[in-house]
Amino acid sequence: MKIQKQQLEDLNKSGISDHKTKFDFLTQSLSKDGTDVENIINKLAEFQVAIPSWALGAGGTRFGRFSYGGEPASLEQKIEDIGLIHSLTQTAGAVSLHIPWDVPNDYQAIKELAALNKIKFDAVNSNTFQDQKDQKETYKYGSLSNTSAAVREQAIAHNKEVIEIGNKLGSKSLTVWLADGASFPGQNNFQTALTHTQNSLIDIYEDMPADWKMFIEYKPYEPYFYSTVIQDWGTSLMLANGCGERAYTLVDLGHHLPNTNIEQIVSILMLKGKLGGFHFNDSKYGDDDITVGSIKPYALFLIFNELVYGMQNNPQNPELGWMIDASHNLKDPLEDLIQSLEAIQEAYAKALLIDQNALRAAQEAHDVTRCQEILQEAYRTDVRPLVREARLQTGGVINPIAAYRKLEVREQLIKERGKNTIATGL
């Protein structure tokens, strides 16, 4: 299925006058306060978030998986799905591939298809948390950290192959998420596991082309229950520093224990020029991978405040690789992604509204009440007209979920692909 430009224009006709009224009203009041609305719209329009190739089908839990009709059965169909989301939102202009779930057969054809859908290839992700068919060594007891040199070598070789695949597609970064850990005290020697991991990562790092970056994720637990080799941002940063300048920490919002101050982590990493990648999702208990902004929208806003501050004040930090890392098993995955994109844009817009000069003055005056007021003034603003305007200016639709339903995208996909297709992923 492909959405035509004319269809988008027709969809916008009915909502345009209502949008204009709301947008003009908001622009007027913001401009009066000295906000540069055009600058915010431009920033929103530029902001692109990669869609992971495993989020386009229904995700499972460890108890089961309920498939959603019309799931993409091939990489081609996954790229087409992202193309659909991108044409509605104009915010999803990239795909992040997980290897070996999504190895292209015909590179030229995949590149052409992606270009046709205006999709770029973002970070490639390696997978040493599952055994693959015909694989010689098992990752049951770890991969890059394993006590067996043969297992480590196999895992290193896999990462190098992922770099090669990404390189052929135009990717410029490798994301390593390591499941390695232990489920029982005494199972692993912490120091040996970390040393092996560092050495394995250095080997992979040295194999990357000179213009590539490595992103190292961390996560406190899961799949193992007692310890994880890369459990927190400190360990990730240490490993990144041990690899070299082009290795960075990646923050995944779901990879923290409850109540962790994620915005502070973001801020410190950016100060050190070491925040490379960012995975969006939301959670209540653990790595729940649910829709961005659905549980803790204020926390997301505070995180964006630090991201905006860092982007404006930390030239030592590179441009970030943004990705949605969510996949859930109840909603239509494409609707879920659209809602996530919307939540990201809203949090970003609200953070851009914060009066940074006033905030600094209030901080220096130790006016704590005023500090809070300044943040909440921005947070309480309904920024949706700004997000809609950015979408309109770039050729998207005013209301992507309504458009998705009106165009009967899911029904159409089921017709084309059938009810029982299953996408690769978790």
Q: By CB under 6 A, is residue 102 in contact with ligand RM4? A: no
Using the minimum distance from each CB to ligand RM4, give the nearer residue, 321 or 385.
321
Minimum distance, C-beta of residue 216 to Mn ion, in the bound complex (Å): 11
Q: By CB under 6 A, is residue 328 in contact with ligand RM4? A: no
Of the candidates 19, 279, 388, 410, which one interacts with ligand RM4 according to CB under 6 A? 279
Q: By CB under 6 A, is residue 125 in contact with ligand RM4? A: yes
Minimum distance, C-beta of residue 401 to Mn ion, in the bound complex (Å): 25
202/82 Cα distance (integer angstroms): 33
254/36 Cα distance (integer angstroms): 33
Residue partners of 153: CB distance under 8 A and separation at least 6: none
> Could you tell me the sign of the dihedral formed by the alpha carbons of 87, 117, 96, 321, in that order?
negative
Give the binding range for Mn ion (CB under 5 A) out of 12-20, 31-39, 85-93, 272-280. Answer: 272-280
Instruction: Locate the DSSP E strands across 63-201.
Output: 94-96, 120-121, 124-125, 173-176, 181-182
Residues 144-203, interacting with ligand RM4 (CB under 6 A): 177
Q: By CB under 6 A, is residue 256 in contact with ligand RM4? A: no
Q: By CB under 5 A, is residue 350 in contact with Mn ion? A: no
Please give the DSSP secondary-structure letter assigned to residue 243: H
193/156 Cα distance (integer angstroms): 15
Minimum distance, C-beta of residue 231 to Mn ion, in the bound complex (Å): 13
Of the candidates 102, 252, 282, 346, which one interacts with Mn ion according to CB under 5 A? 252
> By C-alpha distance, which of 268, 381, 413 is closest to 26?
381
Structure tokens at 366: 């130790």
Residue carrying structure tokens 């390591």 = 178
Give the binding range for Mn ion (CB under 5 A) out of 122-130, 140-148, 184-192, 276-284. Answer: 276-284
Q: By CB under 6 A, is residue 306 in contact with ligand RM4? A: no
Pair 244, 214: CB distance under 8 Å? no
Using the minimum distance from each CB to ligand RM4, give the nearer residue, 287 or 342.
287
Using the minimum distance from each CB to ligand RM4, give the nearer residue, 90 or 125.
125
Q: By CB under 5 A, is residue 279 in contact with Mn ion? A: yes
Of the candidates 287, 332, 342, 346, which one interacts with ligand RM4 according to CB under 6 A? 287
Q: By CB under 5 A, is residue 287 in contact with Mn ion? A: yes
Q: By CB under 6 A, is residue 278 in contact with ligand RM4? A: no
Give me the count of residues in the chain. Answer: 426
**Largest Cα span, the chain:** 66
230/321 Cα distance (integer angstroms): 20
Using the minimum distance from each CB to ligand RM4, give the nearer residue, 254 or 385.
254
CA 113 to chain centre: 22
Q: By CB under 6 A, is residue 101 in contact with ligand RM4? A: no
How many C-beta atoms lie closer than 10 Å to residue 195's C-beta? 12
426 makes contact, choosing from Mn ion, ligand RM4, none, with CB < 5 to 8 Å by partner type, with: ligand RM4
Using the minimum distance from each CB to ligand RM4, give the nearer residue, 325 or 342.
325
How, if at all, do strands 181-182 and 227-228 pair? antiparallel
Q: By CB under 5 A, is residue 384 in contact with Mn ion? A: no
Minimum distance, C-beta of residue 171 to ligand RM4, in the bound complex (Å): 15
325/53 Cα distance (integer angstroms): 10
Residues 308-347, interacting with Mn ion (CB under 5 A): 325
Minimum distance, C-beta of residue 288 to ligand RM4, in the bound complex (Å): 11
256 makes contact, choosing from ligand RM4, Mn ion, none, with CB < 5 to 8 Å by partner type, with: none
Pair 280, 323: CB distance under 8 Å? yes
Using the minimum distance from each CB to ligand RM4, give the nearer residue, 179 or 392.
179
Per rule CB under 6 A, count of chain residues that contact ligand RM4: 10
19 makes contact, choosing from Mn ion, ligand RM4, none, with CB < 5 to 8 Å by partner type, with: none
How many C-beta atoms lie closer than 10 Å to residue 187's C-beta? 14
125 makes contact, choosing from ligand RM4, Mn ion, none, with CB < 5 to 8 Å by partner type, with: ligand RM4
Q: By CB under 6 A, is residue 325 in contact with ligand RM4? A: yes
Three-class DSSP category at 95: strand
Composition of the chain by helix, strand, coil, percent to 5: 50, 10, 40
422/331 Cα distance (integer angstroms): 15
Residue partners of 342: CB distance under 8 A and separation at least 6: 89, 387, 400, 401
Name the site residues for ligand RM4 (rule: CB under 6 A). 98, 125, 177, 217, 219, 252, 279, 287, 325, 426
Name the site residues for Mn ion (rule: CB under 5 A). 252, 279, 287, 325
